[in-house]
Amino acid sequence: MAILAWGNAATADELKLKVATEGAYPPFNSLDASGNLVGFDVDIAKALCQQMNATCSFVAVPWDDIIGRLEKNEYDLVVASMSLTEERAKRMEYSAPYYRSHSAFAADPNRFKDISPAALKGFRIAAGSQTIQSEYLKKNYPDSKIILTKDQPEAQKLLQAGEVDLILADSIDLLTFLQAPESSKFDYVGDPVTNDFLKSSAHITAHKGNAELIKKVNVALDQIRLNGTYDRINNAYFPFSIY
């Protein structure tokens, strides 16, 4: 419980937080050549820390471990493009959305036009494990071969290598992948996948019960939206607003 002790003992000016992100989900979070965490999520987290007068440290945590280690109080916040699901909401406190998107399939557009479950029967579809996209595929594409990878970049590599036929991922994340020279034969296929299950918003999360910290995050998020900081970070990564 030491990680949460600041809530009782520290003043706002002395707030110290440990922030986790994945480090394998560019352009939102990744490791640069020097091993430093970079990306939209990281810059947003730093801006929120500054707005809250908090001293923050950052740690990269594999996606499969990120919720469990939060529950063990190894860090205070997760800023890792976490979507809201009913099951996750039982385990974590959620902030207001800090960006919105939708999911999409990517593949060779010369091979695929129809992305319905019937049309993709027997085809290999990859998605990162423990993502809303992987859960959606398991529920809605029972006759396809669903391949779950440790993260979305690994799914992208399988598509480039011809080891899967399609991938399903966040459309903004796919934008960077599709713009890479080695992905020139691939594009979005079909219409964006939007429904109640594939939530289209990303949130910051904290340990269940730490609603006070999430309140501080929400206030800071409103402030960086109003003072232009959010837009400057957005424009550094995307040619359109993702809020």
- In the structure, what pLDDT confidence band is assigned to residue 199 with cuts at 50, 70 and 90? low
Res 81: pLDDT: 95
Residue 11 pLDDT greater than 60, yes or no: no
Average pLDDT, the chain: 92
Instruction: Give the residue-averaged pLDDT of 42-50.
Output: 98
Rounded mean pLDDT, 79-94:
95
pLDDT > 90? residue 194: no
Whole-number pLDDT of residue 40: 97
Report H helices in the chain.
6-9, 40-51, 63-71, 86-89, 132-140, 152-160, 171-179, 211-226, 229-237
What are the pLDDT digits (tens) for 133-175? 999 999 999 999 999 999 889 999 999 999 999 999 988 889 8
Mean pLDDT calculated for residue range 9-19: 73
- The domains spanning 2-100+201-237 and 103-193 adopt the same CATH topology: yes
Token pair recorded at residue 4:
């949460």
Domain 2-100+201-237: give its CATH architecture.
3-Layer(aba) Sandwich (3.40)
Read off the pLDDT band of 1 (50, 70, 90): very low
* pLDDT recorded at residue 196: 77
Phi-psi region of 88 (alpha: psi -120 to 50; beta: other; left: phi over 0): alpha
Residue 5: predicted pLDDT: 40
- Higher per-residue confidence, 101 vs 196: 101
Whether 63 contacts 69, CB under 8 Å:
no
CATH superfamily of 103-193: Periplasmic binding protein-like II (3.40.190.10)
What mean pLDDT comes out for the span 67-81?
Answer: 98
Sort residue 35 into left (φ over 0), alpha (ψ -120 to 50) or beta: left
Domain ranges of the chain: 2-100+201-237, 103-193
Residue 14: pLDDT above 90? no
- Output the CA–CA distances (angstroms, integers) from residue 43 to 113, 132, 218, 233, 236, in the order listed: 37, 24, 16, 7, 10
